[in-house]
Structure 1
Amino acid sequence: MNVRFKHLLWVVSLLMPLSVFGAEGVIALKSSHSVAATADKLTTLLKDKGMTVMNRINHTAGAASVDLELRATELVIFGNPKVGTPLMQCAQSVAIDLPQKALIWEDESGQVWLGYNDPMYLKQRHGIEGCDAVLGKIAGALDNFATAATR
């Protein structure tokens, strides 16, 4: 990663509230748990709320399988057609970003983060019009899941 970009991210993170950091369409919250524990909590919360957890990818294990190192990094892929389908009806191209994903990673200082795509970023990216209620519902649900998993 470009040194100037890293420096900019560091400066911006100091200026934002300590619990939330967002960049390039990603909302990220600090977690008070390990990567595995955060992913476990998130997966349980999602299932308890009727979401389908399609996959959980351990990128660290993948890196190790080819003799490379990577700090703890997991991706949880989840969704619900009752929510995703109406969004795709508004702009079918949003299907490239569905199902939803949550990335949980440990940064270079040992801090664990949980990040997900900001629905307003998806609105802009796909030119979604007339679906503010659906986007608001998704935004609220993602915030609730992420907050509960990181505390």
Structure 2
Amino acid sequence: MKHGSQWLGRGLIGAAFLLPFAAQGANGLNVIESQHGVAETEERLVEAVEGKGLTVMAQVDHQTNAQTVDMEMPATRLVIFGNPAAGTQLMTCAPTVAIDLPMKMLIWEDGETVKVAYNTADYLVERHGIGDCAAPVQEKVGQALEGFAKTAAGG
């Protein structure tokens, strides 16, 4: 029972932590549900990204990292990827966008569901005050991110 109560406590803390993110949906965080488990969703995302010629720069397994310090958390993975051609165009418009590049997608277990989250291209343009300078790549980046997330999630 101790194990279950630990998860309940962590779940409540985790839910409180995630509330601001749910509220930020209008502020650039797009979250969709996956039809697959975390590992398969990650695999599908990597295949989609690489299939379009982008580079996967890192894959972070937060659950495994937590275990190295004797902590537990639900499966949570971060995939970091990019396209220097698009990223460089954005960074020449506003160097601060580099703090958000390369792009990232988060995949995690949320109770009985698996979710995929990413920052929208519109959010990045607004956040960094890029304006019309990004117009040539903004729509393409937005469509690519949405496509990657849907492919990974199975939708």
- Greater shift in the superposed pair: 22-31 or 33-42: 22-31
In structure 2, what is the Cα distance between the partners aligned to 1:41 and 1:122?
A: 24
> Residue type matched to 2:74 in 1?
R
Give the percent of matched residue pairs that are identical in Structure 1 and Structure 2.
45
- 2:5 is matched with none
TM-score after normalising by structure 1? 0.85
Which SS does the other structure have where 1:22 is aligned? helix
Matched positions, count: 140
- 1:49 is matched with 52
Q: 1:90 aligns with which of 93, 97, 101?
A: 93
TM-score after normalising by structure 2? 0.82
> Residue type matched to 2:92 in 1?
Q
- 2:9 is matched with none
Q: 2:69 aligns with which of 66, 69, 84?
A: 66
Deviation at 1:23, TM superposition (A): 5.3
> Residue type matched to 1:128 in 2?
I
Q: Which runs of 5+ in 1 are unaligned?
A: 13-20
Question: What per-residue deviation string (whole Å, max 9, x for no partner) do you get for residues 78-102 of structure 1?
Answer: 0010111111111111001000000
- 2:129 is matched with 127
- 1:143 is matched with 146
Q: Which runs of 5+ in 2 are unaligned?
A: 1-12
Bigger radius of gyration among the two: 2
Change (3 A) 1:125 1:6: closer
In structure 2, what is the Cα distance between the partners aligned to 1:121 and 1:64?
A: 33
Deviation at 1:50, TM superposition (A): 0.4
RMSD (Å), alpha carbons: 2.3
> Residue type matched to 2:152 in 1?
A
Deviation at 1:22, TM superposition (A): 2.9
Change (3 A) 1:110 1:23: farther
- 2:113 is matched with 111
More helix by share: 2
Deviation at 1:42, TM superposition (A): 0.3
Which SS does the other structure have where 2:58 is aligned? strand
> Residue type matched to 1:112 in 2?
V
